[in-house]
Chains A and B, each alone.
Chain A
Amino acid sequence: MSVEQRDPHSGYLTTGHEWNGITELNTPVPRPVYVFLILTVVFSVVYWVLMPAWPLGSSFTKGLLGADDRAALARSIQQATATRSAWTDQIAGKSFAEIEADPRLMADVRRAGHTLFGDNCSVCHGRDARGGKGFPNLTTSSWLWGGSPEAIAETIRVGINAPHADSRVSQMPAFGRDGILKRDEMENVVAYVLSLSKPPALGDKVAAERITAGKAVFAANCVACHGAEAKGNPELGAPDLTDAHWIHGNDENSIYADVWGGLKGQMPGWEGRLTPIERKILVLYLIDLRSKRP
């Protein structure tokens, strides 16, 4: 084993091992490998000096460059805020009407609003803001809590039935589950509510009777929130039942289910998650979406 044998052909030492007459050369490690090894050692020494590296008990060497991810992030956020302030300052300072009249600011609103809406609102209200079952369409003129820019801004700030202290609060009672109305009363009131947006076929006597009976039930139970005309009340978040916009479906079964089990829609409040400017951009973005629709 330890006998030094030299391979006569190549001139190198062998390892001394032999397998069926085959021996293995003990070729020295190539020089470039040593060069790279030395370079990496030099690199790491330089790196230790420049960057945070060695632990020292309860602290560590901070490095000459002062590299700190958190500080770098704070700087980059500060820079971005400064860059954006060219137009965000104007949005913060101007009224909704003034910004709407300024096409250049509105272009910024559309760009930033698209991203903000996509990150925060689109999972419920849809990428195109047209909502879905259970989540309102935001591109119509029908707004539960009022469609003025101020009302929308407030809804975004505090949310609906949200944990926020000033949250908008609204609940439709469960007329069926809690035994307030009987089954036929609920069926009649559903027929009446449906007739407000979809008038029944002329001469349908049964339907007409149900609608008349339902109107009485409506007057006794529903007008407090939805109003005598069923036009809703944005103060209470009660929807207009006479228009074509339905959050929870406009077929008989859906409306019956709503009357039976009640409704308590929820929207989170965004104060604390979004800055005042971000919320203002979202309001303007929604107003802009709405105005583009005939």
Chain B
Amino acid sequence: MFGFHYKLERKAISFTLAIIFVASIGGLVEIAPLFTIQQTVEEAPDMRVYTPLELAGRNIYVREGCYACHSQMIRTLRDEVERYGPYSLAVESKYDHPMLWGSKRTGPDLARVGGKYSDDWHLAHMINPRDLVPQSIMPDYARLLRTQLRTDDLGRHLKAMRAVGVPYTDEMIANAAADAKGQATPDDPAAEGVTKRYGEATNVRAFDGRPDQLTEMDAMIAYLQILGRLTDAAYKTAAAPGR
């Protein structure tokens, strides 16, 4: 019964190749078709890219390890949809590299947190979560308010994103640093460029309450306020109640 196997076992190279062949069948069948099946990623023509400031905030989110406690993925379960809003669609993380769906919720899911609370709340909550939610165990991030945001490398970040498929234009890349500053400084002439390049619906505000400074807090709050708001596609699904 094992005659064939005994022979195979004695040929190291062939046996290795045979193992690779058999193990790759699962991947070929389960993963490869995701690139060809039409309904894997939904169509969302209104999907916009992250602005440089939001992308900087996203990088801080990754740096601080926020994803370890906060997921960004509302599953197709009734309790999640009733608590957080319409379930997450694949297209909503189309421009997320890497995606931050997460698998652990020590804190609440953040997929639809954009616009749910005010900038003031986010600021106060980052400085000391216990001031607002006494039972919170989230660490405080007051230092983000004391750290100036590094903007000189933002153009290169955008370029890297473009290399993996995010449609940033040359103009966006060239103006990345100015746009980051402009988005957090509503009275600055650079603010106009942000809405021109990224759309009228872009939040242009002094996110940290200080228009004169561009801090990491600006970037962080700008990112949190856009979560779930890059496209309205999810609100057109069956999970969006009669709203």
Residues of A within 8 A of B (CB): 54-55, 57-60, 69-74, 76-77, 80-81, 119-120, 122-124, 126, 132-135, 163, 265-268, 271-275
Interface residues of B in 63-116 (CB under 8 A from A): 76-78, 81-83, 85, 87, 115-116
| Chain A interface helix/strand/loop/mixed | mixed
Given A58-B36, A70-B237, A123-B132, A267:B243 Cβ within 8 A: no
A258 to B108, CA, bound (A): 33
Residues of A within 8 A of B241 (CB): 77, 81, 275
Q: How large is the interface on B (under 10, 10 to 19, 20 to 34, 35 or more residues)?
A: 20 to 34
Closest chain B CB from A26 CB (angstroms)? 9
Query: Taking CB as reference atom, which chain A residue is nearest B33?
Result: A55
Question: Which residue on chain B has the smallest CB distance to residue A79?
Answer: B78
Binding site for A on B (CB under 8 A): 29, 32-33, 36-38, 76-78, 81-83, 85, 87, 115-121, 124-125, 131-133, 235, 237-239, 241-243
- Chain B residues whose C-beta falls within 8 Å of the C-beta of A134 in the assembled complex: 120, 124
Report the separation of the CA atoms of residues A59 and B32 in the bound assembly, to the nearest whole angstrom: 12
Chain B residue at smallest Cβ distance from A1: B10
- A59-B38, A268-B115 known; A73-B78 Cβ under 8 A: yes
Q: Report yes or no: B33 in contact with A60, Cβ–Cβ below 8 A.
A: yes
Partner of A80, one of B78, B87, B117, B242: B78
- Among A54, A120, A133, A267, which residue has its beta carbon within 8 angstroms of that of B29? A54
Q: B78 to chain A: which residues have CB within 8 Å?
A: 73, 76-77, 80
Q: A55: which of B37, B76, B117, B132 is its contact (CB, 8 Å)? A: B37
Nearest chain A residue, comparing its CB with the CB of B87:
A73
Q: How far is the CA of A196 from the CA of B132 in the complex (A)?
A: 29
Whether A73 and B124, one on each chain, are in contact in the complex, defined by CB atoms closer than 8 angstroms, is no
Q: In the complex, how many angstroms separate the beta carbon of B28 from the nearest chain A beta carbon?
A: 9
| 24 chain-A/chain-B pairs, Cβ below 8 angstroms | A54-B29, A55-B32, A59-B37, A60-B37, A70-B239, A72-B76, A74-B238, A76-B78, A77-B82, A77-B238, A120-B116, A122-B133, A123-B117, A123-B132, A126-B132, A132-B131, A132-B132, A266-B120, A268-B118, A271-B243, A273-B85, A273-B116, A274-B243, A275-B242
Instruction: Give bound CA distance, A54 to B77, whole Å.
Output: 25
The 3 A-B residue pairs with the shortest CB-CB distance in the complex, in nearest-first order: A55-B33, A266-B118, A74-B238
How far apart sit A268 and B124, CA to CA, in the bound complex (Å)?
Answer: 16
Contacts of A132 in B (CB 8 A): 131-132
Q: Which residues of B have CB within 8 Å of A133?
A: 131
If A72-B76, A123-B117, A124-B121 are given as contacts, then 8 extra A-B residue pairs at C-beta distance below 8 Å, sorted by A number, are A57-B33, A73-B78, A77-B81, A77-B82, A124-B118, A268-B115, A268-B117, A271-B243
Give the distance in Å from the alpha carbon of A268 to the alpha carbon of B112 in the complex: 13
- Please name all residues of chain B whose beta carbon is closer than 8 Å to the beta carbon of A60 when the two chains form the complex: 33, 37
CB-based nearest A residue for B31? A55
**A81→B38 CA distance, assembly (Å):** 32
A267: chain B residues within 8 A (beta carbon): 118
In the complex, what residues of B have CB within 8 A of residue A58's CB?
36-38
Q: Once the chains are docked, how many angstroms separate the CA of A271 from the CA of B235? A: 13
A275→B119 CA distance, assembly (Å): 24
- How far in angstroms is the closest Cβ of chain A from B64? 20
Complex CA gap A31/B56 in Å reads 59
Chain A residue at minimum C-beta to C-beta distance from B28: A55
Bound Cα distance A69, B90 (Å)? 14
Looking at A74, A80, A123, the one whose CB has the most chain B CB atoms below 10 A away is A123
**B112 nearest CB neighbor, chain A only:** A273
- When C-beta atoms are compared, the residue in chain B nearest to A55 turns out to be B33
Contacts of B76 in A (CB 8 A): 69-70, 72-73
- The residue that B125 contacts in the complex, of A71, A76, A119, A123, with Cβ under 8 A, is A123
Q: Are B133 and A123 in contact (CB under 8 A)?
A: yes
> Which chain B positions have C-beta within 8 A of A135?
121, 132
Give the distance to chain A from B157, nearest Cβ to Cβ, in Å. Answer: 27
Complex Cα distance, B121 from A132, in Å, reads 11
Chain A residue numbers with a CB within 8 Å of B116 are 120, 268, 273
Complex contact A123–B77 (CB within 8 A) = no
Contacts of B119 in A (CB 8 A): 266
Contact B238 A70 (CB under 8 A): yes
Q: How far is the CA of A122 from the CA of B118 in the complex (A)?
A: 13
Q: Which residue of chain B lies nearest to A58 when distances are taken between CB atoms in the complex?
A: B38
